[in-house]
Structure 1
Amino acid sequence: MKMKNRVLIVDDDKELCALMKKCIEQENLSAVIAHGGIEGLRLADENKNANSLSLVILDVMMPDMDGFQVLKKIRETSNVPVLMLTARSDEEDKVSGLRLGADDYLTKPFSINELMARVNSLIRRYTTLNPTAETDSEYIELSGMMIDKTNRIVSMNDHVVELTGKEFDLLFFLAANKGRVFTKKQIYTQVWEEEYAFDDNNIMSFISKLRKKIEPDPDCPFYILTIRGVGYRFNQEA
């Protein structure tokens, strides 16, 4: 039997959590609830290890650990979509969440129809474009390419390719998660390990330079694919 997509709801408002869970389950999805940030991180980790989590709905204002802290920890290990909830319409809150890797934002109060439209959209994008393919290996063997993380060496058909430090980090990150789609914001946060500076041209420039060094035909890439309107992924077939 195919496992239902699972949604993790992290919010200290128990009545709202119950309502969201009921509506989510009516869409033939499953849902688990955490009433605080620490519990939410524990459940996120448990479900990540089981590859069963398709979306996190995360409130910003919680007493034990705020949503920004929870999001930052989640993004250290997971690319799961995160929908942030806030009782404030402060633009700075939204910018902070997006910089940390949130995928979407809803301001309370919101309609259930709008919530479910965003839930279904995020899950559909994630499950359609992100097959499970993740590795912690120090050595990655691909079609025509070898990546040695320990010695930071990349070879194409037994010829070493000279890459800068960040080009290597970018290539290894994408190849280690091949098949998974990342936004420019997520790539920047993971590879540069700092808050996203909204400089899409920087990411695009690195991708372009990397393609010129590793792609047989940079104008028709085989390894690093562009997902129009979303970001990039490493070819699952490589």
Structure 2
Amino acid sequence: MTNRILIIDDDIELCSLVKKCVSQVNLETDMAYNGQTGLLQVMNEKDSYSLIILDVMLPNMDGFQVLSEIRKYSNVPVLMLTAKGSEPDKVTGLSLGADDYLTKPFSINELIARVQSLIRRYTTFNQGGSVSILTFKGMVIDKEIRTVQVEDKLIDLTGKEFDLLVFLASNKGRVFTKKQIYTQVWKDDYAFDDNNVMSFISKLRKKIESNSEQPFYILTVHGVGYRFNKEA
């Protein structure tokens, strides 16, 4: 199967280079040279893209604005590119729903590796229940019979704790805000921050982590939210 990606970047030479390189790993590429055009392509194509590569520094409509609009109706993975390496830019992008961040200049090999990882994760997640066993370092989650074992010990989780763990583990490495976690796990509108997600994260850590104060599985991304350790 050939996956399609969209590059939104005003650097025409960079777009051409990326397109040439990713074609070697069976990826078709569309290109847009400004935010408005890119957003229009995403809206028109809907579910046709497996990944969007989005530059932050775009004319008129910057990458953060484009990302914010995309996230209103699509969960397609977004890899953000920027010439800035500052922490605030990364926090802003991740809090708006970016899946990964790459600072220019970057190596093509690193770009391809991240692109393939994001597409693979997205494809697996959207296959729904096709993968019933999730295996990590010291942990096995069986989604079908709803059990969790850590270091061969069966862990007693509530229904919502299990759902929360499965959601994060199924999106290994991806950062989620509390709002994103609440709407996906609780299946309800997130009207305000009532610390419900933080409370469940804390309870879950105490059950699955060997040291809940220095967790290995569920990590805090300060100023953004939480992610399941991609090294697990």
TM bucket (normalised to shorter chain) is 0.5 to 0.7
Match among 35, 40, 43 for residue 41 of structure 2: 43
Q: Is the 8 A contact 2:182 2:197 kept in 1?
A: no
Pairwise CA RMSD of aligned residues? 3.4
Q: Is the 8 A contact 1:37 1:67 kept in 2?
A: yes
Amino acid at match of 1:63: P
**How many residues get paired?**
164
Secondary structure of residue in 2 paired with 1:105? strand
Q: Are 1:107 and 2:103 an aligned pair? A: yes
C-alpha displacement of 1:184: 3.5
For 2:67, the equivalent position in structure 1 comes to 71
CA distance in 1, matches of 2:191, 2:15: 32
Mind listing any 5+ residue stretches in structure 1 that lack a counterpart?
A: 134-166, 172-179, 210-218, 220-227, 232-238
Amino acid at match of 2:197: I
Q: How does 1:129-140 map to 2 (within 5 A)?
A: 129-131=125-127
Q: How does 1:33-182 map to 2 (within 5 A)?
A: 33-48=31-46, 51-131=47-127
Match among 182, 187, 190 for residue 180 of structure 2: 187
CA distance in 1, matches of 2:54, 2:25: 19
Match among 8, 11, 16 for residue 13 of structure 1: 11
CA distance in 2, matches of 1:59, 1:132: 30
Secondary structure of residue in 1 paired with 2:50? strand
Cα pair distance change 1:97/1:193, threshold 3 Å:
farther
For normalisation by structure 1, the TM-score amounts to 0.59
CA distance in 2, matches of 1:108, 1:20: 13
Amino acid at match of 1:203: V
CA distance in 1, matches of 2:191, 2:35: 22
Amino acid at match of 1:21: K
Q: Is the 8 A contact 2:22 2:112 kept in 1?
A: yes
C-alpha displacement of 1:207: 8.6
Secondary structure of residue in 1 paired with 2:26? coil
